[in-house]
Every structure is written in C-alpha cells, then in structure tokens.
Structure 1
Amino acid sequence: MKIKKNGYICLRNAVAYRQTGFTLVELMVALVIGLIIILGAGQLFLMGFQTFRQIELLSNKQAALTFATETLIRDIRRATDVDFDNGALTVAFTNNSDMSGCSGTVVRVYRLSQAAISANEGWSLNMGQECESAPSNAVFEPLVTAFNEDGFFAEEIDDGVWEISFQLMAGRNDETDSFTFNAVNRNQAIE
C-alpha cells in the first residue's frame, strides 16, 4: 500500500526517498562528454596555431628573399663595377641621391653576418656603404634575416651577367630552400 507522508513514499514498511538532482553516473557521463568537447576544441586551437606559425615562417622567408633580391638587382643593374670576393659582393655606382654628402661613387658591400642573429632568425644579409671606398666593418647594418650560414654566393657567368644564389634557413621538414637568380649589369650589357 502506498501512503504519502511528509514527502516520503511508503511501501510495506519500507521508506524510499524521492530523488532530486543528478546521480553520480549521470554526472560522470556529463563530465566525460565535456572533457571530449574541451579536448576537441583544444586540438583545433593547436592545429590553427601551428598552421599560423608555418604561414608566418614562409611569409618571413618570402619577404626576406624578395627584399634582398630587389635590392641586389637594383644595385647590380646600375653599377659601374661589380665584384664578389670572400663572401662579399662589392657594387660601385655613381651617386644618384643614394648617399648624402657624396658627390662621386658610392661603394656598397653585401655579405652575411659573422654569426646567426638567433636560432629562429638565422644569419642576416648585411650592407655597408661608403663614398669612394669600401666600407669598414663598423658601418655594416643588417638588411634581412633568414639565411643559412653560407647562404649567399655570387658569380659572374657572362660579361655583366651575375648569378646570385641564396640559401634560406631550413623549414619544418629540415630542408633548406635554395634560390638562384640572374642580374644583368646594364652598363656592360649595352657596351
């Protein structure tokens, strides 16, 4: 016989309490489902972050390569004298508002830094310039980073045609990226 008495259900002299709230099993199932959702969201965040870092690394390499290439091509094209010796590319050209206070020839030297800037940045391509003479070590400034230790080389392959080679830092799969391009000295090309 069921008799309700003060919120209790009585069954043949046994008292059963009315259940309110979650049971332990329901709570554990909810926690497991929540944990799976949080782990999935964390995995998506981590994948997005890794993709962002890879794209950022590739963008930095592309920017370094583009800037270095454009700078060297511009100077080699208008140069009166170009020489590569001991890892340094020396370019001399008539001053065209490139260097204030110099009425004659500007001499620029491009070379890699003597040590890596950092493990993430690699070696930098440095440039120094002086009026009428090669610059001293004190006047070299970094242009761009992301190069390997021996990642800069130039060679004159024909009269006035220079082959410039860059080797950029290793990427995610530890393979270095090598790029070679040609720059033509206009003064020698029209002779």
Structure 2
Amino acid sequence: MMPLRDPALKQSGFTLVELMVALAVGLIILLGAGQLLLMSFQTFRQIELMSNRQAALTFATETLVRDIRRSDIIAFNSGNRELKVEFPNNGDLSACSAGAQVERIYRLSSRMVSAKEGWSLDMGQRCLSDTGGMSYEPLVTSFTEGGFSAEETIEGVWVIRFRLMANRDGSLMDEFEFRAVNRNQAVK
C-alpha cells in the first residue's frame, strides 16, 4: 500500500495566475521606470539648451556693454534696428593699427535662422580707414522678430532690450533689459 500524500505538500511552485500577476506588476514597474528615465532625459536636454542660450546671451551682453562703455560714438537706427559703436582699437581688431577707429554694428539677422532658433544677433566690424564692406557674424540666436532695440535714456546711459523665444515654437517670449553707461559721455 502506498502512503497518502499530505495535500499541503502537493503544491511546490507558482500557479499560472500568480506568474501572470507577477509579470503584470513587473511590467508596470518597468514602464514607470522607463517613463521616468525618458522624462529625466528630456528635462536634462531642456536645461542644457537653456544653459547654452544663457551663456551665449551673457557673451552678447558683455560684448555690447564693453563696446558701449568705451565708445566715442554710439547710435541706434530704429528703422533697421542697428546699434553702431565706434571706438579706438586697443588690439581688438588685428587688421587695424593700434589707436585706429573701429566701427561695430549690432543687428538682428535679415531672416530667421530656423523655426527653432529664430533670428540671430549679428555683429559686423571694420576699421574706419577701410573702404571695404562689413561682414557679419552671429553672436547668439533665439531672438524674436524685432527682438533687439536700444535707446539712450539720459546722457550716456543706454537701455538695451532683448526679446527671446521662450519655447521652440516662438509662441512665448522672454524679455531682457539692461543698462550700459558710456564712460566718455558720463564723465563730461
């Protein structure tokens, strides 16, 4: 005669239902972790883009402030939105001799760089003794159309305004305003 088995000892593994439930819970956890990873990557990319734009904007601002501070002549043409500064060369432009007058013009690009980047702030420079034309190079992108202006508020104090795209489709914008003092006019 065979010994009878105890029913409690009969089951020695997981049932199909238990395996299916465990797989479903594991899949939900895995999908949640994947979504979290994707969101983290997108956030990192946005922060990196904003950081790059902020660095470029800081560079453009510092360049403008430096040029306004030391300029002999400053003029903003509101018709074509060009800021023109003239100052003596102190090694900025190797094509000019030391002390020669340098002319720099800041303006927005004539057309949009791309739908994602908007317009760029361009800078052109030349020696005033040169009769040749001026070539322009972009300093920073992400400007809205007409997003660069300057005005002299009081003698020697210039207010510069930037209007940048806050998101890629250009529907939102950030506005920045800073002041630069022309030392030559402020001392007079």
Q: TM-score range by the shorter chain?
A: 0.7 to 0.9
180 and 134 in structure 1: CA distance in 2 versus 1, 3 angstrom threshold: farther
- 1:110 Cα offset (Å): 0.6
Match among 173, 180, 184 for residue 181 of structure 2: 184
User: Within 2, Cα distance between the matches of 1:135 and 1:76?
Assistant: 24
- 1:134 Cα offset (Å): 8.8
RMSD: 2.4
Partner amino acid for 2:174? D
1:55 aligns with 2:47: yes
19 and 61 in structure 1: CA distance in 2 versus 1, 3 angstrom threshold: same
**2:60/2:140 contact within 8 Å kept:** yes
**2:110 counterpart residue number:** 114
- After superposition, give the CA deviation of every residue in 1:50-109 in whole Å (9 maximum; x if it has no partner): 321332232123212211110000000000101111211111100111111313211001
1:148 aligns with 2:144: yes
Secondary structure class of the residue paired with 1:121: coil
Secondary structure class of the residue paired with 2:45: helix
- 1:149 Cα offset (Å): 1.6
**1:3 counterpart residue number:** 2
**1:101 counterpart residue number:** 95
User: Within 2, Cα distance between the matches of 1:101 and 1:189?
Assistant: 30
Secondary structure class of the residue paired with 2:71: coil
- After superposition, give the CA deviation of every residue in 1:126-146 in whole Å (9 maximum; x if it has no partner): 111111069736x10111112
**1:112/1:125 contact within 8 Å kept:** yes
**What is the number of residues matched between the two proteins?**
178
Pick which of 100-109 and 53-62 moved more. 53-62
Runs of at least 5 residues in structure 1 that lack an aligned partner in the other structure:
10-17
Pick which of 116-125 and 106-115 moved more. 116-125
Match among 63, 66, 73 for residue 81 of structure 1: 73
180 and 135 in structure 1: CA distance in 2 versus 1, 3 angstrom threshold: farther
Runs of at least 5 residues in structure 2 that lack an aligned partner in the other structure:
none
170 and 74 in structure 1: CA distance in 2 versus 1, 3 angstrom threshold: same
- After superposition, give the CA deviation of every residue in 1:134-166 in whole Å (9 maximum; x if it has no partner): 9736x1011111211211001111121111000
**2:119/2:141 contact within 8 Å kept:** yes
Secondary structure class of the residue paired with 2:17: helix
Partner amino acid for 1:65? L
Secondary structure class of the residue paired with 2:2: strand
Q: Sequence identity of aligned pairs in percent?
A: 62
User: Within 1, Cα distance between the matches of 2:62 and 2:140?
Assistant: 12
Larger Rg: 1
Match among 32, 51, 62 for residue 40 of structure 1: 32
What TM-score do the two structures reach when normalised by structure 2? Answer: 0.84
